[in-house]
Amino acid sequence: MEDVITGKAFVYGANVDTDQIYPGGYLDLTDPAEVARHALERVDPDFITEVEPGDVIVAATNFGCGSSREHAAVTLKAAGIAAVVAESFGRIFYRNAINLGLPLVVCPGIAGLVRRGERVRVEMAAGRVVNETTGAVAAAQPLSAYIRAILASDGIKPMIRKQWGLSAE
């Protein structure tokens, strides 16, 4: 995991659920490249054409609420999203994203400080989020030690492999 992530922001409101992030009709897909094509397609059709590797999602409360579909985290990561900053997260989405090594940052008040297309810098260790376009700064909540360990391993799969002495397929 990189300590500082800088990218263009896509900004969403409250309660963006995992059906909006990844529609149920595509849940039979598993290849991350295929899964990436449907990211946010019903609610923000421009997202997939505008997103570039390293971009950041900024959202209000309860981002990723709803279903347990890991596809919601897979689709954002495979589309190039490097971090999601929100005022709070749905709990299963939170686990799924961290497991994949996609950093999620809880940052109260952030949705009001960033507009779509502005450049955002997420400073993981410092625990802050900076809007480089406007200069606005917001404090992020610190990650727990366990979450930091998962992200430091680049996701839970390498961590489990190491802990249990397993080799990849």
Query: In the complex, which residues of this chain contact another protein (CB under 8 A)?
Result: 14-15, 17, 19-20, 23-25, 27-30, 42-43, 61-62, 65-71, 73-74, 88-92, 95-96, 99-100, 144, 146, 156-157, 160-161, 164, 166-169
> Helices in 17-111 by DSSP H: which ranges?
18-21, 32-36, 47-50, 71-79, 91-100
Nearer to another protein, 45 or 135 (CB): 45
- Minimum CB separation of residue 90 from another protein in Å reads 6
Q: Which is nearer to another protein, 42 or 116 (CB)?
A: 42
Tell the smallest beta-carbon distance from residue 118 to another protein (Å): 25
- Minimal distance in Å, beta carbon 42 to another protein? 4
Alpha helices in 38-133 (DSSP H): 47-50, 71-79, 91-100
Query: By C-beta, is 30 or 134 nearer to another protein?
Result: 30
The CA distance from 116 to 15, in Å, is 18
Q: E strand or H helix at 10, and its extent? A: strand 4-12
Minimum CB distance to another protein, residue 160 (Å): 5
Contact 139, 105 (CB under 8 A): no
Q: Which is nearer to another protein, 4 or 160 (CB)?
A: 160
- Comparing C-alpha atoms, which of 107, 104, 114, 106 is closest to residue 135? 114
Q: For another protein, which is the closer residue by CB, 99 or 133?
A: 99
Dist CA 122 CA 130 (whole Å): 6
Least distance to another protein from the beta carbon of 39, Å? 13
